[in-house]
Amino acid sequence: MKGSKKIAFVLFLQLFFHVSFSQDDSLKFILLNGPEGKPLGHVRNITQDKYGYLWFSAQSAKCIYRYDGSRFTIFKHDPDNKNSLAAGGISSVYADDEGLIWIGLQNGLDQYNPSTGVFTHYIHNKNDSTSVSIGITECPVLKDRKGRLWIGTQNGLDRMDIKSGKFFHYRNQKNNSKSLSCDIVWNIYEDRQGVIWVATGLPWGNENPEEGGLNRLNEDGTFTRYKHDPQDPRSLINNKVGAMFEDDRGVFWVGTSSDGLHTMDRKTGKFERLLHNPEHPEQVSRPALKLNEVNDKINFITEDSRGAIWVGTEYSGVNRYDPDTKKITHYFENNNFPYSGTWSAFTSKDGVLWIATEQNAVVKIDPFRKSLKSQVLSAPATSFRRQKWKLMGRKFWQWHFPF
């Protein structure tokens, strides 16, 4: 190795070790204030487009926000402008890889094109079987690697042909065990193998505990169901499935109501139940049930840029599990995290974790304690270059701009 390259390499290693291992284990949750310093309201989903903008769906404010790191742009329904956001409740927001923004509405679906500033409306029509189903849930829209758009509703799973604007419906069929297990779709996820997973079941209420389940979409359009079996400890502990996530190590996590954190062996279809055990607080689990009832569901499972697993619940706060140190930290109604419930989470391109809470707040956490200056720019995503370094099980993300 030549002298100049050797010096540069040594300096890089010194910088890397300083950044990676001088981190304070305590994380700071920073409240994101909305326009005019007011709360954003009840945010259901967070997404980031290819230009770096963050988008928030605000259910209570009936709008979506675009955030550039310092300023918000608000998109609302304008009755005098047919090209504005459609009227009605906002369920979700999703940015696809082409830069289009998809907004789930209670009575349909909107597409926003930032290049034209136009919202295109796809509204349920009871006389048109190819229109979108009514009752879109807070489940985010998903565009898979094949270019198919998936929408979760209270009346099944919809697949949209973006070119034609037509919708194909997957629904539960009473006497067909290969159909969707339940029409109430709560989450959609695509794993690294391109498999589509569908979480179903109304999370609240115990009137019908058999309703719900996890579904794997097969190549032929049928589903493989995974449900609770009281005779099988390797089955789901609860049929109300809310969260799915594949981490950087390839572990597939599934979260349900009750004490329902699982990992799944996708080859065998078996689950490992990771139950909360107060005698072994170091073991990975969801937070203890604060209300001692099965209605407390896991709303999200995600991984931060340091490889830690976050498990967010509706009533009992959030757990952060570090696979390296085998340490769990619980955040619940304290000075650091003054919230009892969470709804969703999202990791932006700069490695910052954003959590939407049930208390009308969005907080951000920088796992590397980096400067919280905006790295969300209105420049093409190609202006970013990401280098991912792995050393001794730690993950370090470096974002920089070309000169």
- In tens, the pLDDT along 128-182 reads 999 999 888 888 899 999 999 999 999 999 999 999 999 999 999 999 999 999 9
Q: Residue 358: exposed, middle, or buried by beta-carbon count in 10 A (0-12, 13-18, 19+)?
A: middle
Closest CA to 243 of 234, 255, 232, 258: 255
Return d(Cα 380, Cα 110) in angstroms, integer: 23
Return d(Cα 178, Cα 199) in angstroms, integer: 15
Mean of pLDDT over the chain: 85
pLDDT tens per residue, range 314-353: 999 999 999 888 889 999 988 678 899 999 999 999 999 9
End-to-end CA distance of the chain: give it in Å, rounded: 26
Return d(Cα 121, Cα 135) in angstroms, integer: 15
pLDDT tens per residue, range 73-113: 999 999 999 999 999 889 899 999 999 999 999 889 999 99
pLDDT tens per residue, range 252-265: 999 999 999 999 99
Structure letter (DSSP) for residue 28: -
What's the pLDDT at 297? 92
> Above 90 in pLDDT, residue 247?
yes
Handedness of CA 11, 13, 17, 20 (dihedral sign): positive
Domains of the chain and any CATH numbers: 26-123+350-403 (2.130.10.10), 171-332 (2.130.10.10)
Closest CA to 321 of 309, 332, 330: 309
